[in-house]
Amino acid sequence: MTPAADLDDPLPISALQHAVYCLRQAALIHIERVWAENRFTAEGRVLHDVAHEAGSRKSRGARRVTALQLASLRLNISGIADVVEFHRGPDGETAFPIEYKRGKPKLHRADEVQLCAQALCLEEMTARPVPEGALFYGETKRRLIVPFDAELRRLTEDTVRAFGALVASGRTPPAVWKASRCRSCSLIELCRPQAMAKSALDFRRRALVAALAPEAAANGSSP
């Protein structure tokens, strides 16, 4: 999770979900680290709670590996998968990543991108195709199968590139207020997309003009 370090530092896979949602959010968390602590401890705990989903897959003879370290040299990403099942087939084992999420399935594709990035790592590591994986949502207790189609793969690779460029630049993109996205953003208090759209120079000028206006003293309200 080293932010904005050497280019050879692999990008954290867990950052991609933030990068899909909003590049500024990803920068605030992973480059500026304004919120890293709370967020990651909270997520770590949730993970712990749910990583023991009933092993229905076991009956089908899948090998289940938890907390598996993943990396892709091609994409320069790395991370840890909650669970990877290895399903036995006629020509060997096929990896099947499962990611545990609190909450419920979302309208945006952030969780799918994170999972797909894991699949891309697994393909590189096992040299075998990984056609699908699953997201398990704590709130609905549902397992959602995610096929890694061409479109999702493209979105994932584009996100990796965009986030990589961001980390290399060390810059945080400007805030762009978008109600549907910002209202449910947990970083809104730190990002302040609406205030950041204002000019502080104008504000200072106006405030001083008001302070120097002769009637300013008479109209103020008492604290």
Partner 1 sequence: MKKLLNTLYVTTEGARLRKEGENIVAEVDDTERGRVPLHMLGAVVVFGAIAISPPLVGALARAGITLVLLDRQGRFEARVEGPVSGNVLLRRAQYRASEQPDEIVRSIVTAKIANQRVVLQRALRDHGAEMSADHRTAVESTIDRMERILRRIAFTNEGADAMRGAEGEAANGYFAVFDSLLRSPDPDIRFNGRSRRPPRDPVNALLSFLYTLLTHDCRSAAECVGLDPAVGFLHRDRPGRPSLALDLMEEFRPVLADRLALSLINRRQLRSGDFETRDGGAVLLTEAGRKTVLTAWQERKKEERRHPFLDEMAPYGLVPYLQAQLLARHLRGDLDAYPPWFWR
Cβ atoms within 10 Å, residue 23: 18
66 or 169: CB nearest ligand SF4:
169
For partner 1, the binding residue among 78, 172, 177, 181 (CB under 8 A) is 172
Whether the CB-CB separation of 62 and 87 falls below 8 Å is answered with yes
Task: Choose from ligand SF4, partner 1, none: what does 22 bind? Cβ within 5-8 Å by kind.
Answer: ligand SF4
Residues 6+ positions from 174 with CB-CB distance below 8 Å:
24, 196
95 or 175: CB nearest ligand SF4:
175
Q: What residue has token string 């300013």?
A: 216
3-state secondary structure of 102: coil
- Two structure tokens written together for 7: 């280019």
Residues 6+ positions from 7 with CB-CB distance below 8 Å:
76, 168
145 or 217: CB nearest partner 1:
217
3-state secondary structure of 134: strand
Q: How far is the CB of 15 from partner 1 (least distance, A)?
A: 16
Task: Choose from partner 1, ligand SF4, none: what does 222 bind? Cβ within 5-8 Å by kind.
Answer: partner 1
For ligand SF4, the binding residue among 12, 24, 30, 86 (CB under 6 A) is 24
Task: State which of positions 174-213 bind partner 1 (CB under 8 A).
Answer: 174-175, 189-190, 192, 195-196, 198-201, 203-205, 207-208, 210-212
Q: In the chain, which ranges are continuous DSSP H helix?
A: 14-21, 23-30, 36-50, 110-126, 150-169, 179-182, 188-191, 200-212, 216-219
Residue 11-50 contact track with partner 1, rule CB under 8 A, x = bound: --------------------xxxx-xx-------------
Binding stretches for partner 1 (CB under 8 A): 3-4, 31-34, 36-37, 170-172, 174-175, 189-190, 192, 195-196, 198-201, 203-205, 207-208, 210-212, 216-218, 220-223
